[in-house]
């Protein structure tokens, strides 16, 4: 397993992040525990979740599954770098209460205590803001975070789905008050969706944040979607966002060219998509959300896959990025 440091921290994390969004809604507890054990045995020490995972009436269920896994002992918690997120209202759908969502000091304090209880741990290594809160000043947010750090409940704070200017605003505010600020950013980033290269990734690199891409295969589009379509797959790639994307002739043509290119090199599409991200400057590690052990094994193989300069160039030809800033902003 390959490791790197998480942004401006002393934490050593695996170059693959185990996402747990499917634990509970699609993957039952015993299977989820098996995936967590297999990942840890393979050297994946970075586990990401969120308080809302489980969704609907089962919000918090995913954290509970991780908590019962930790409770089994065997140094599972000590060997894991644990990341979770907060922002969304934890009440049942349609039962939103004031101050039960977003990034107020009150909700931050309430949310971290609830997550610690579900996760059956005394601290969270990386506590992340799931979305931007345009109503709460960063002075209040950092005051609340500093209190949690002093109490030993969290070690570091990170962001998710922040635009570049909010990363800058958050860290400039933190610096004025002598605080560490954000150490990581979770953003959507993959071969199909490369807009993060315009502002988010440059801002993260400038401020020393680790970049943790979510949806690295764009909802399965880069995981061999057309091949699965031909095989009559009934999985996620056959419906939802992937099916809608493939209905776009221009994008379908790009995916077809991608799968043909990958096949010519004797490689698997999903593994190439992950390996491409691992080759991008500033990327700590992509978040993979396996629903089965086979999906985890495929993701693990991507870590040791070194793409040739020729293949990387061909991938850029199919899925060109926006280009460097500020040129990328020119009309």
Alpha helices in 120-239 (DSSP H): 138-150, 164-176, 200-206, 225-230
CATH among 3.40.50.300, 3.30.310.50, 3.40.50.9100, 3.20.20.100 for 3-220+269-316: 3.20.20.100
Whether residue 212 is preceded by a cis peptide bond, meaning omega within 30 degrees of 0, is no
Catalytic residue status for 53: yes
Whether 306 shows a pLDDT value over 70: the answer reads yes
> How is residue 283 annotated by DSSP?
B
Contact by Cβ (8 Å): 177, 139? yes
How is the chain split into domains, by residue range? 3-220+269-316
pLDDT reported for residue 239: 54
50-76 mean pLDDT: 97
pTM for the model stands at 0.94
CA 130 to chain centre: 10
pLDDT, tens digit (0-9, with 9 covering 90-100), for 95-150: 777 888 999 999 999 999 999 999 999 999 999 999 999 999 999 999 999 999 99
SS3 for 17?
A: strand
Burial of 301 (0-12, 13-18, 19+ CB in 10 A): middle
d(CA 130, CA 162) in angstroms, rounded, equals 9
Instruction: Give 236's pLDDT tier (boundaries 50, 70, 90).
Output: low
pLDDT reported for residue 183: 98
d(CA 289, CA 210) in angstroms, rounded, equals 19
pLDDT reported for residue 235: 58
Indicate the length of the chain as a whole number. 331
Whether 331 shows a pLDDT value over 70: the answer reads no
pLDDT reported for residue 170: 98
Catalytic residue among 3, 53, 127, 189: 53
């Amino acid at each position: 397993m390959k490791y790197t440091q998480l942004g401006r921290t002393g934490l050593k994390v695996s170059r693959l992040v185990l996402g747990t969004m499917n634990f509970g809604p699609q993957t039952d507890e015993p299977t989820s525990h098996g995936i967590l054990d297999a990942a840890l045995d393979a050297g994946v020490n970075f586990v990401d979740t969120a308080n809302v995972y489980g969704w609907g009436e089962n919000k918090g269920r995913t954290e509970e599954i991780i908590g019962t896994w930790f409770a089994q002992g065997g140094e599972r918690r000590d060997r894991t770098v644990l990341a979770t997120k907060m922002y969304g209202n934890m009440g049942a759908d349609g039962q939103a209460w004031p101050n039960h969502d977003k990034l107020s000091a009150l909700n931050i304090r309430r949310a971290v205590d609830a997550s610690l209880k579900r996760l059956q741990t005394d601290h969270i290594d990386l506590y992340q803001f799931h979305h931007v809160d345009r109503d709460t000043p960063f002075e209040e947010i950092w005051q609340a975070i500093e209190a949690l750090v002093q109490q030993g409940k969290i070690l570091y704070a990170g962001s998710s789905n922040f635009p570049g200017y909010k990363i800058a605003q958050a860290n400039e505010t933190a610096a004025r008050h002598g605080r560490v600020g954000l150490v990581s950013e979770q953003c959507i980033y993959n071969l199909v969706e490369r807009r993060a290269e315009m502002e988010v990734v440059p801002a993260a690199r400038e401020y020393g944040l680790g970049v943790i891409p979510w949806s690295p295969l764009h909802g399965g589009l880069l995981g061999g979607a057309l091949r699965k379509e031909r095989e009559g797959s009934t999985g996620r790639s056959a419906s939802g966002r992937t099916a809608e994307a493939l209905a776009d002739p221009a994008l379908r043509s790009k995916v077809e060219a991608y799968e043909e290119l990958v096949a010519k090199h004797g490689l698997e599409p999903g593994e190439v998509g992950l390996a491409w991200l691992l080759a991008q400057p500033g990327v700590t590690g992509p978040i993979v959300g396996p629903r089965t052990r086979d999906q985890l094994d495929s993701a693990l193989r991507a870590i040791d896959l070194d793409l040739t300069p020729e293949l990387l160039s061909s991938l850029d030809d199919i899925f060109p990025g926006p280009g460097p800033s500020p040129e990328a902003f020119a009309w």
